[in-house]
Every structure is written in structure tokens, then in C-alpha cells.
Homo-oligomer: A and B are copies of this chain.
Amino acid sequence: MVVRIGLGKLGNIGSAPLLEFLLDERAERKDIAVRVVSSGVKMGADHVDDVAQTLIEFKPDLAVVTTPNATLPGPTKLRETLISSGIPTIVISDSPAKKAIQDIEKSGGGYLIVEADSMIGARREFLDPAEMALFNADLFKVLTVTGAFNVLWQEIDKVLQSLQKGEAPVLPRILVNKEKAVDSSGLNNPYGRAKAIAAYEIARRAADLTSEGCFVVKEWERYTLLVAAAHEMIREAARLADEAREMDKAEDMILRTPHNGEGAVLRKRKLLEKPSKPDSPPA
């Protein structure tokens, strides 16, 4: 059986752009079919309706909605439309989404809230296409090495397995904080794990500066400096994440967990060894 996954992407958060590739990194899986629909950066009601409609037409077995701040009207509407259509739905969002947890649980949805998925420094004096792309590049590095991305795809994979077996899926309801992330990182060196926690926190705290810079401070010279500082924090977090991964390279202990064609997750540590199916799920 091929399980159908519909991804509805609203706005931009760091957890969204690579999501479908995390599920099938070498385009080998035969057990899933994916459809991604997005209205780009727009999150208004009309766009959301259209995205919802297209996703529903795809008849997905599972829907995943990625969105900044899941409490906003647009994301809320998309989530509710999908759920009310009987589609099991997981919301992936950032820290402000914590306030939506109760609502999501009540409606029967799942969620994966990534604390380090910080808001970008969205001020016209600072943010242009290049700065936006660099912020995302650095953030992807942080979310990868610290294990946050691993939580995302592993939790979705679990649901896919249930659906594959015809079981009623148990949707994930997880706040991905520093310890949850790093537990899923596969990092072997304990100092590497400490660096990853540090990177996660630095990335998370960058949001304090972007929200201060975007919503609180009014003088343009001040907020420009604040959002610039936030991006420097993300760049630094990426550097630290890279350092953590290099530590595992230095001992030839990088954990690799490729999917095979059936969607199973294989494992290996040494670069020059074959991946194999573990008896237990990846830790």
C-alpha cells in the first residue's frame, strides 16, 4: 500500500522547506506518495481555502501543516478544515504555537513544536532575499545537527507505519525542546551533545531579539541592530552545530539513518560500513 501524505505549507518556518525531502532523502521510497501545496508567504483566508481544497482533493491519509505561529487565523482554519474532513493532521510550528496546544489537542490533531525554529528578523532595513536565505541556511544546519529535524521525520514515519499497517494512527504531540532534540540527534560525543544543546538554545533565544526588534522597538536604528544581532546568533549557532558534527567525524562515529525503498530506517556509524536494519528503532 502507498500511504498518501499531503503537506500544506503556510508562510515560512525553518522546519518547512526541506520537510518532504527528510522523508525520502534519496527518492527511493515506494511506500509513500507526497503532495505539497503552498500559498508561499501568504497566510490569508482565501489562500488557505485554496490550499485546503487542493490537499483534500489529493485524498491524503495524513496531512501535515507547517506554519509559523499556529494560533493565527489562517493556520487555524487550514488545520480545522483538514481535521473536519476526517484527515489525521499534524501541525508543525514554532514557539508561539505553544498557545495553540490545547486547541489542537481538543480537535484531535497532533503537533510538533520546534522551540529553536526562531522567527526571522523581518525588518525592511535588514531583511532582503539574501539575508533571508542565509538565515534559513544557518537555521537548517542547527535544526539538523541538534536533532530537531530527526524528531520531525521520525515522528511522521511512525504515523506512516501505523497507516501502512492499517492501524489508527497516534498523532505525535511533542514540544521539541533542547533535550528532546539532542536525544534524537544521534550525536555520540558528549561534548558534541553539549555543543548541540548550546546551539539549540542560542537559536531559540535569537527569537527574543527578533520579536523585540519586530514588535517592541520602534526606533529604526535600534531595531535594525537587534535583528542583525539575532541573525549573528543564528550564524553562531550554526557554527557550533557544525563543530559538534565534526567531533563525531573525528571519531568516525556519525550516525547515519537512511531510509530504504520500503521506508524502513537503516543505521550505521562508521563511514565505511553498510547500513543495516536495527532491531530497535533509532535512538
Contact = CB atoms under 8 A, between A and B. Distances in A.
A155 interface: no
Given A17-B17, A54-B54, A194-B229, 5 more contacts: A34-B40, A125-B273, A189-B249, A190-B271, A194-B228
B37 A228 contact: no
B233 A202 contact: yes
Contacts of A11: 27
Contacts of A232: 191, 194-195, 197-198, 240
Interface stretch (A86-94, A104-112, A136-144): A136-144
A71 interface: no
- 4 nearest A-B residue pairs (beta carbon): A34-B40, A197-B229, A27-B41, A194-B228
A122 B26 CA distance: 6
A153 B132 CA distance: 13
Interface in A237-252: 238-240, 242, 245, 247, 249-252
A166 interface: no
Nearest to A234: B198
Contacts of A18: 17, 132-133, 136
Contact of A130 (B149, B191, B250): B149
Interface in A199-224: 201-202, 205, 208-209, 220-222, 224
A27 B68 CA distance: 12
A164 interface: no
A137 B144 contact: yes
